[in-house]
Every structure is written in C-alpha cells, then in structure tokens.
Structure 1
Amino acid sequence: MSSSAPAPREDIFPTFFLSGFECSTFDWGTRGRRDMAAELQHYTHADEDYAMLKDLGIAVAREGIPWPLVDRGDGALDFSCIDPFLGAQRRHGILPIWDLCHYGYPDDLDPYSEAFVTRFEAYARTAASYVAERAHHRPLCFTPVNEPTYWGYMGGEWGWCAPFGKSAEERRRFTVALARADIAACKAIRSDHPDARFVHIDPLIWVVPPRDRPDLAEEARRESYEDAYIAWDIISGLKHPEYGGSLELIDILGFNNYSFGQLEYAGPATPHRPLEPGDKRIRPVADLIEEAWSRYRRPCIVAETSGLHGGRPEWLDDITSEGLAAINRGVDLHGICLFPAVDMTDWHNGEWLHMGIADVEELPSGTLMRKPFLPYVQALHRWQQRLRRVTTLDEDPYDKPIGMDEIREAARRLDPVTDAEWH
C-alpha cells in the first residue's frame, strides 16, 4: 500500500487520546452476577475519575450502561445508576462512548431466542433516548455490544461466563446472536437519532501453530482470518446479509490490542497461549491494524490498549508508534484509547492488574484511592506534545474535532518504524 498521504477524511473526536472505565456485568462462573464498575467504586468516584481525564487532556471516554442491572425483567428500565456518570461528564467536558452491553445480559433471557434480539433492541432505544436527553454534547456515540467475537469465546467456548458454552459450535452460535442484537440496536437508535455514531469493538488477534505442530497451521489461520471477524462480517453485511448489516451500520471500528492478543494455538475449547516477548512469530501491530482496517475501510480507533506495571510508558510508546505507522500506510485511524483510566482486577483471581492510568490503593475505610501512575502520565504528555495536542482540556474541548490532517502530518513528520519487539 502506498505511504503517500490519503485524501482528507471526516473528523470525529475532540482528542486523539481516549480512555475508558471497566464496566463488565457478566454472570461469572461460581461468582454469579458481577458489576465491575461497583467493584471499582466508579459510581461513587465518578466525579474524581472524570476530573482526572480533563486534567490529562483526554476528552473522550468509554463508559458502560449495565443492561442486566437496568433491566430486571418486569418490563421497566431504571437508568438512575448512570446519573453520576452523566453529571461528571457534563462538569468536566468528557464525551462518552456508551457500551450498552458489556459481557452481561438479564438473568431471565435466553441468548439464543428471538426475545434476546427484540428486548435488547427495545432497551437500546430507551437507553439512547435517556442519555440523549441529558447529554451535554453531540455526537451520541455507542458500542451496542462490546467484543461480540471475544465474548463468543468467553461465554460460548471457554465457559468462563454465561451462557457457559463449551464448544466452537456454541461459540459461533452465540456470536451470531450477539451480532444480530447489535444490528437491531443500531437500527433502532438511528431511527430516533440519525446522527448517532457506533464504535464496533473486538480484539486484534494473531494465532500461530505450535512450532512442533505444523499440521495445525490451518486451524491457526482460520482463527486469525475468519473466526476473529465473525461479528464484524455480520454487522457490516459481508456475511449473512439477511440479518441486515451494512458497512454504514458498522460505522467506526474499534481494535483492542494487548500483549496477549498474539497467541499459539492450543486446540478447541481451550484458551490459547500468549506468545512470549521476543518470540519471532510476533507481528508488528501496525500490520494487524492495517489488515483489519483494509477488510472494511471504515474509520477506526485503537479502542483498548495498555501495558502492565512499570511497562506502561514503554507500551504507550510502542502502540502510538505503531498507530502512526498505520496512518502512514493510509489507515483511517482516529485515536488511541488508554484503557482503563483507573486500574481493574483480574477477572479470575481478583488481583489488581496495574494497567490503568491510575492505580488504586485501598484505605482502611475500604475506599479505593486513585493514584495516577506518574511515568505513564508523563509518557502521555510527551506524545501529546509531539503530536501538537493539548495536555489538559479547556472549557470548550468540543469547539471542533481534532483535524485528522494534523495527525497525518505528525505521522509523516515523525515517520515511526514498525517493530515486532514489544516492551
């Protein structure tokens, strides 16, 4: 692909760096229903959490509406739990991308039933109207179903969370159900809010066969180039057009990228093994971004990314360089989301992962005090300055979206080299 500058494209977000908050509400194994925003004390710390983003020069945040907690099965929907988020967003000038379904659905719903699609459609329409009436700025932005392909694995093949499937067949069936619900929600929202934007999010993955099992190369290839794209292919209308998907509906693509996204194939119904640093089979992330974008050619963002512990600043250096290199190849990349803003726990063992912009410290009172990780913050500010972006928000960060021509010019000026060596 040519490295010359692409033609001017639309501008979408007010800042190039985004962030977000862990908001999973899955039914998790023996733990039952979980609300990760509550476990993080995000409801009570919403003002502090959003004020931190303003001080960091980040004007866009992924935020969740907890469907299984809002919809309790009696036909009524209670959105009052997100009022603290709406107030904090208004006070601090942060534009939300609302996750309408982040790994959780109501207890009384069968995800393989038609009722799953119709009830999610009705909930999504009502949720969009609720936030539209209280939003401080447009565009309204939604992720209808977060990571439907990855959730397909978690809930359909690995049995981590509901619906606790244990086969590739059930995984594909569950993913199709999620994609159908996503399409119905998009159409319902657009009918009421024609200017609404959708960010459809799944991980970037690369799967390779074990070195001593070249006979598994086809299985690894299928995971990388077919199964990784099931939901996007349906939502975009490239597959199963009878469900009503289209490229216009998929709108904006969100690529999640973590170190464990490059894997060695371990067989069916088994989570694959992440490749170790230095493994020669690791590919530059710019390659993965370009491949995924080229399939649909829609605007995109890196929707989640972070290193761990002390490696967070170096990870930010790596991912920003890879993103700019992808821009130089013509990819229409509009931002990088540093996720999470505040640390999160390992879903399996409950230990803090130390991957947020801010870590947490539990006080004797049980309060989780936020502690920004200074080296990470300093790395963010260095990149904001190199890209000639603000390092803190003014009173009106929405006077205009960032000019993508400015980001493309910075990418050409900095001219980063892609690198498969990750810190």
Structure 2
Amino acid sequence: MVQRPGIFPTFFLSGFECSNFLWKDGVRRNLVAETGHDRHVAEDYQILNRLGIAVAREGIPWPLVDRGGNYDFSLLDPYIAAMNAAKIMPIWDLCHYGYPDDLDPFSDSFVARFANYCRAAAEYVLPKVPHSPGFFTPINEITFFSYCAGEWGWAAPYRCTREDRLRLRVALSRAAIAGVKAIREVDSSARMVHIDPLVRVVAPRDRPDQIEAARHETESDTFLAWDIICGRQHPEFGGSPEILDIVGANNYSFGQMEYRESGPHAALPPGDDRIAPLCDMLDTVWQRYRRPMIIGETSGLGHGRPDWLRDVMGESLAAVQRGMDLQGVCLFPAVDMPDWHTGEWVGNGICDLVKENGVLRRVPHQPYVDELRRWQKELNRVTALDEDPYSDPVELQDVVDAAHRLNMRPDKDWH
C-alpha cells in the first residue's frame, strides 16, 4: 500500500453530513445547521488537521445557492477559508439529496440546470482552494436517493413505487454525467468520486423462492448507477470509465440485508453467517470497473466505533493485497449527526456532540481516535502527529513531505 503512488495526500479521509432535502413533512432540512458545522466550521477543520486527515467531503447546498438559475455561492466563503487555514483538500458534494424547489428530477430541464450549476460551482470554488486539484461528487448516493425519494416517499419528489425508484435512479445518473462534463469544461483535470453504498441482499432462510429476487436487488442496487455513469448501460447518456473516475463505495452494517417484498429490506444482525467479508464485496466492484476506489463513508456506532474501524482496515489491507486500487477510507462523519427520523444523535462521528449552554460542543470519541492513530502509525502516514492527536496543527505540506521521504503518494499524482 505505502509503495503505491496515490490520489490523495492521506489515506484517511473524513467529511461532514450536509443533506438538504425536502423532508416528508414538506420542510427543507439543513443538516449542516443541525450539526452546527456552519457555526463551528473553523474548529471542525482544525480537528481534522490535528488528526492528520487532509481530505474532507464538504457539501455545496444546491437549493440554497441556486435561485432559478441565478447563483450566489458566497455562503461557501467561511468553509473555504476554514479548509484553506487547515490545509484540508475538499471533495465537493454538489447534490446531497436536495435540489431546488422549482425542478422536477425526471425532466430534461433538471439535467440542463444541474449541468449549469455544476459548471458555476466549479468556476467559483476551484480558484479559491489553491492547494486542491479539484474533487467533486456530482450526486451523492444515487442508489439510496432513489429509494428514499423514489420508493419510500421520505423526501422530494415523494414517489412510492419501485418503478419510480428505477426511473429516478436513471434520471439522476444522467444528470451526474452531464454534471461531470460541465465541470471538466472548467478544469479538464478535475476528479470525480461517485459515492454509492455497497449493498448485498440475501433471501430469508425459509424462502428459497426469493433467492433470485434478492440476487436481482443486489445487482441492481449496487451497480446500476455506476454502470450508467461508466457507459455500460444507457450509453446514449454519454457515460464512460473516465466519467466514473473514482468509485466511492460506502460500507455500513445495514448494507447487508434480508430481502423484503415491500418496504426497506431488513439489516442482517451481527454474527449472521450470511454476512460477506468487505474485501469480497470490494472485489466485486473492482472486477466490474477496474477504477480507483475509496471507501466513501464508513463508521460504527457508539462504543463499537473502534472495533468497526479495526475490521474495516483489516479488510482494506486484504483488498490491497489482492491487487485492488483502494485509495483511502473516509471516516464519516467527522462530527456526529442526528437520526433523520427521530432527531437523536446517532453516535457515529469521530467527535460526539454535547449540547452545553445552547452550543454543540465537539468531544472527540477517544477510543475511536486512538484506533485511528494506531492505524496511521501502522501505515506510516504521519510523523509529528504520532505522539498526540491534539498537539499543534500540522501543515498539509508536512504530510506531503513525509510522503515523499517514504515514497508514498507524491503530489504529482494527485491529478
């Protein structure tokens, strides 16, 4: 792993929950505000700096910056200032479940408007983050978005059929391709990270008649969006391997499920012998696309976070040893997030959030931090940070210089 030149300056990435969907009650949610990231952005980025994490997923809220095709990106300025001060390289999420109120995602105008927005966003952010070569996620989790908003009716456009789920997935994939092409009109070297969950569905033990249905769900849910973006399906949309670029495969415990004929499938319980190793699931993606990969999001819950990271890293090393081009692991989110339905804190961040005097204080979950530090030492990814994860901030260039000394991930390969 450490001998292979890489795309990112550090193997560990992180990010911030930035959903801005119209929720099922008709009210637009803003998870950046709900987690206090908008008010603590400078602190949040310094936390990542001190942890030796030099890459973060950050959202551009399309519904808030686009008013009928007129753009105001000035609300991004505090985030850009914070990431520049902390020397953090952003991966910009351009559509994180939310789109402007006046758009229909099934329409041709959605595709055109999204492409124009992506072009304008790239023109705004790329000159302002000089240490970053430019990374974008056009539409986050197309697969989950199509379930959430196309079949379950949780978010706009509030559709509730499997047919609409498929239609939405195809429509969003088409828009993502148009967005990539628009961004590369601004910078032909810009890189794309297409994020979607790793999914595996199995039949109930007593329902062998559902084996084929479960297999179909796995195939369609894991691959359809990536297949369209890379041009394997619906080639008329203009997809290609270069547009797919980097595959971001999210890994959560609820990604392996037991088939249900209606409603969400049921997550397999811990210890279920039908759970497949993460390495095998990554290999299925690798064999299909042969594109660079990251684990786009992963986290355990509560006290299980260190054990989860240990397991993910063991599987990641196995993947690299099997020849997969795994470029990083994104510990997501950096700070905790609320459950969308209940509002309770999930307990999956590097930092927990504790409300004190109306302020959401960032409290590092120390066992999780300790496990991260152990793996950073194991991978020789950092030097000065090894003694104390909350010592003085380290400049990104220090990390890059260490990489040069160790023949790791030189900056000439970031592009």
Smaller-chain TM-score bracket: over 0.9
The corresponding residue for 2:294 is 301
Query: Residues 401 and 259 of structure 1: is their aligned pair in 2 closer, same or farther, counting only changes over 3 Å?
Result: farther
1:69-80 alignment, distance < 5 Å: 69-73=64-68, 75-80=69-74
1:39-118 alignment, distance < 5 Å: 39-73=34-68, 75-118=69-112
* 8 Å contact kept, 1:22–1:36: yes
The corresponding residue for 1:206 is 200
1:241-252 alignment, distance < 5 Å: 241-252=235-246
Amino acid at match of 1:280: D
The corresponding residue for 2:213 is 219
For residue 228 of structure 1, give the secondary structure of its aligned residue in structure 2.
Answer: helix
1:369 aligns with 2:361: yes
Residues of 2 paired with 1:202 and 1:381: CA distance? 27
The corresponding residue for 1:135 is 129
The corresponding residue for 1:412 is none
Deviations 1:301-327 (A, max 9, x none): 001000000010000000011111011
The corresponding residue for 2:147 is 153
Unpaired runs of 5+ residues, structure 1, are 409-423
How far is 1:402 from its partner? 5.1
Match of 1:232 among 226, 249, 261: 226
* 8 Å contact kept, 2:382–2:399: no
How far is 1:216 from its partner? 0.6
Query: Residues 254 and 397 of structure 1: is their aligned pair in 2 closer, same or farther, counting only changes over 3 Å?
Result: farther
1:220-369 alignment, distance < 5 Å: 220-268=214-262, 270-364=263-357, 366-369=358-361
How far is 1:78 from its partner? 1.1
* 8 Å contact kept, 1:16–1:402: no
Amino acid at match of 1:42: H
The normalised TM-score by structure 1 is 0.91
Residues of 1 paired with 2:193 and 2:256: CA distance? 23
The sequence identity of aligned pairs, in percent, is: 57
- Cα RMSD after superposing both structures: 1.8
Query: Residues 287 and 203 of structure 1: is their aligned pair in 2 closer, same or farther, counting only changes over 3 Å?
Result: same
How far is 1:159 from its partner? 1.0
Query: Residues 397 and 155 of structure 1: is their aligned pair in 2 closer, same or farther, counting only changes over 3 Å?
Result: farther
Amino acid at match of 1:359: D
Residues of 2 paired with 1:277 and 1:66: CA distance? 36
The corresponding residue for 1:417 is none
For residue 207 of structure 1, give the secondary structure of its aligned residue in structure 2.
Answer: strand
* 8 Å contact kept, 1:20–1:62: yes
How far is 1:399 from its partner? 3.9
Match of 1:121 among 92, 97, 115: 115
Amino acid at match of 2:176: D
For residue 123 of structure 1, give the secondary structure of its aligned residue in structure 2.
Answer: helix
How far is 1:72 from its partner? 2.4
* 8 Å contact kept, 1:99–1:145: yes
Deviations 1:89-110 (A, max 9, x none): 1001000000000000001101
Match of 1:179 among 160, 166, 173: 173
Amino acid at match of 1:180: R
* 8 Å contact kept, 2:229–2:239: yes
* 8 Å contact kept, 1:202–1:255: yes
Deviations 1:86-134 (A, max 9, x none): 0011001000000000000001101111110000000000001100121
* 8 Å contact kept, 1:147–1:203: yes
Amino acid at match of 1:374: Q
* 8 Å contact kept, 1:203–1:261: yes
* 8 Å contact kept, 2:199–2:221: no
* 8 Å contact kept, 2:335–2:353: yes
Deviations 1:151-206 (A, max 9, x none): 11111011111111111110010011111110001001111101100000100011
> Between Structure 1 and Structure 2, how many residues are aligned?
399
Amino acid at match of 2:361: M
Query: Residues 398 and 137 of structure 1: is their aligned pair in 2 closer, same or farther, counting only changes over 3 Å?
Result: farther
The corresponding residue for 2:17 is 22
Which deviates further from its counterpart, 309-318 or 221-230? 221-230
Which deviates further from its counterpart, 222-231 or 137-146? 222-231
